[in-house]
Structure 1
Amino acid sequence: MTPAQPQNEGPGDAPTLDEVARLAGVSRATASRAINGGHRVSATALAAVEAAVQSLGYTPNPAARSLVTRRTDSVALVVPEPDERVFTDPFFVHTLRSVNRVLASRDLQLVLLLARPGDEERRMLRYLRKRHIDGALVVSHHRSDRLADHLAALGLPSAFVGRPIDSADKVAYVDTDNAAGGRLATELLVDRGCRRIGTIAGPADMAAGTDRLEGWRAAMRDAGLSDDAVVEGDFTEAGGEAAARELLGRFPEVDGLVVASDLMAVGALRVLAEKGRRVPDDIAVTGYDDLGVSERTSPPLTTVRNPIGEMAEQATRLLLEQIEGERDRQAIRVIFPPSLVRRASA
């Protein structure tokens, strides 16, 4: 005779944890541990509980599960930038998409925290301190936000996309070799025959800005060329346009231009067109990122590929390993090599 299967006829008859335990032939405590991560549960018991959950259609109560695991099943993406930039810059679009891809496969929720210096930053830190999330990913950080120090002090699982400009020894991070990328772009123009090469650098309070500038300087020194034609930008299109006007005003003789981001290069190309400087005939131009913008410029932009999708996914996996206790919260670093993408501008 076949045993009767449990019947759930309405909302009040939802299967309980006790029923799961009885069907699996284990204690209530073992069933709870199996459902909430499988810690200290034998493979046999775990399989029995999983089969019972499937048979009964049991769904754990999120609040009760949180009390047991002390987990919120959510991860914060912290971006200390103005919201208007986050939703227009392809760098952030690619980051969000890549992070969410990894979290969705684990059924985890993404919480976006935008925090400009001041009251917004203080609110964000209070939110993190109260452990409303299981861990934090940080992207586009500046020296002034001191997020590496704050997160290390909180003991919160965290990972950075891009090297923190200070306190990089305190947190895990994933980055690309920006200095090598800056060197690649500059050496291309040197090999092309350019001898008065200027650069629109990134912000001096961000590691990507300083590292790409150092790569440019190293290549210029090796080629025996002057490295005085430098103007700092802010990684935005408008910032690139303003920097290009200043650079060309101070150094009108430049025949090569290394720009630290594709968005800034868009602004620079606009200025060059206004001034009648043909690209690449009169002046060769390179960008940095290759996140879709460089393919649509006129002419298409030679650039250095910044593997932000792979970096964001790797940083998310590092964070999840910390949350799951599979990896200690230590200063792990993963560095991706840059690569040059040749198009018509150089």
Structure 2
Amino acid sequence: MARVTSSDPNGQVQGPGPGQAPTLDEVARLAGVSRATASRAINGGNRVSATAQAAVDAAVESLGYSPNPAARSLVTRRTDSIGLVVPEPDERVFTDPFFVHTLRSVNRVLSVRDLQLVLLLARPGDEERRMLRYLRRRHIDGVLVVSHHRSDRLADHLAALALPCAFVGRPIESADKVAYVDTDNVAGGRIAAELLVQRGCTRIGTIAGPTDMAAGTDRLEGWRAALSDAGLPDDAVAYGDFTEAGGEAAARELLASYPDLDGIAVASDLMAAGALRVLAAAGKRVPEDVAVTGYDDLGVSDRTHPTLTTVRNPIGEMAEQATRLLLEQIEGERDGRPIRVIFPPSLVRRESA
């Protein structure tokens, strides 16, 4: 129940009046400190002694005081909210396990700090302009960016705004301007192709990711490097969009152009799931006729038939690390120089290769 206190004629603090919320002045009076000290203690403890902090904490608990968010924001210049920018269609965000894992991991870090996550879907055009206006007005304390494309130019926009930010995945352009966390996608692409070479495949194709995303270009680069080292041709390439439908279309294209393929390295598990359906429809046995590898290991690969050998993309750890980097910027624990953290990929062996 909301309460206020007052002093009786003898100077003792009395109980709350009915239906009234306690105020900051009453917290200060009960704690025996100034109003300014009480405010600092409630809003972060800057320049407050341990004794005063303990007294204010006890007064807050005793009175059931809850700070006014607007007043608190004026003191701290904080909104206690973090934006997650995803420049993708909303139907993909809520169906792709990549985004589910990202959201869950970011929120795991924020929840223990009592911070709010604000999801910002911003495709190029009006949505992006509206999102940038929102960021420019400082409605949030900082922003995380995931699944970004070359045309988004989000690294440039956020650097110009001087808004604390961190990217999950390396921006394909202007990566030197922002903090980011990524996995070594070149090494991951190489690992997948090398497995197929070691298996004895001699005609190896790939379903690459979008060319406007760093993950797409880097995984393709690793695949090409492995085939070059093995002295094998690297011309069997089709491109998808990291969706099952995109994987199906790319697999049909590959089989039509290269019917002798005996191995396919696919740049995402969702695309690989689509490719497996196309191979089955074409009468190709996996892995007997065509060995297949995916990329991500976010829950799709152990539900396909056959189960999918894949390269693990540690998106949960990446998203958590990016969130921590962002919070360090907001708290002033970083000197402003962009930080890069790179996680190693690893191979997960299942039935498809």
TM-score tier by shorter-chain length is over 0.9
Aligned letter for 1:211? Answer: D
**Aligned equivalent of 1:275:** 282
Any residues of structure 2 matched to 1:48-59 within 5 Å, and which?
Answer: 48-59=55-66
What's the offset of the Cα at 1:6?
Answer: 4.4
TM-score, structure 2 as length reference: 0.95
**Aligned equivalent of 1:155:** 162
Any residues of structure 2 matched to 1:242-261 within 5 Å, and which?
Answer: 242-261=249-268
**Aligned equivalent of 1:188:** 195
Runs of 4+ residues over 4 Å off in structure 1: 3-6
Any residues of structure 2 matched to 1:132-147 within 5 Å, and which?
Answer: 132-147=139-154
Match of 2:309 among 302, 307, 313: 302
Match of 1:11 among 14, 19, 27: 19
Contact 1:304/1:339 (8 A) holds in 2: yes
Deviations 1:22-70 (A, max 9, x none): 2222211111111111112222222222122122221111110011111
**Aligned equivalent of 1:222:** 229
* Matches of 2:47 and 2:62, distance apart in 1: 23
Report the identity percentage: 84
Contact 2:84/2:118 (8 A) holds in 1: yes
* Matches of 1:223 and 1:11, distance apart in 2: 78
TM-score, structure 1 as length reference: 0.97
**Aligned equivalent of 2:171:** 164
Deviations 1:315-339 (A, max 9, x none): 1111111112222333101111111
Unaligned runs of 5+ in 1: none
* Matches of 1:188 and 1:157, distance apart in 2: 40
* Matches of 2:200 and 2:316, distance apart in 1: 34
Any residues of structure 2 matched to 1:267-346 within 5 Å, and which?
Answer: 267-346=274-353
Aligned letter for 1:242? Answer: A
What's the offset of the Cα at 1:168?
Answer: 0.7
* Matches of 1:172 and 1:119, distance apart in 2: 26
Contact 1:287/1:304 (8 A) holds in 2: yes
**Aligned equivalent of 1:44:** 51
Aligned letter for 1:53? Answer: V
Please report the RMSD computed on the Cα atoms of aligned residues, expressed in angstroms. Answer: 1.2
**Aligned equivalent of 2:248:** 241
What's the offset of the Cα at 1:8?
Answer: 2.0
**Aligned equivalent of 1:73:** 80
Q: How many residues align?
A: 343
* Matches of 2:42 and 2:14, distance apart in 1: 19
Aligned letter for 1:149? Answer: D
**Partner secondary structure for residue 83 of structure 2:** strand
What's the offset of the Cα at 1:4?
Answer: 6.0
Contact 2:82/2:144 (8 A) holds in 1: yes
**Aligned equivalent of 2:90:** 83
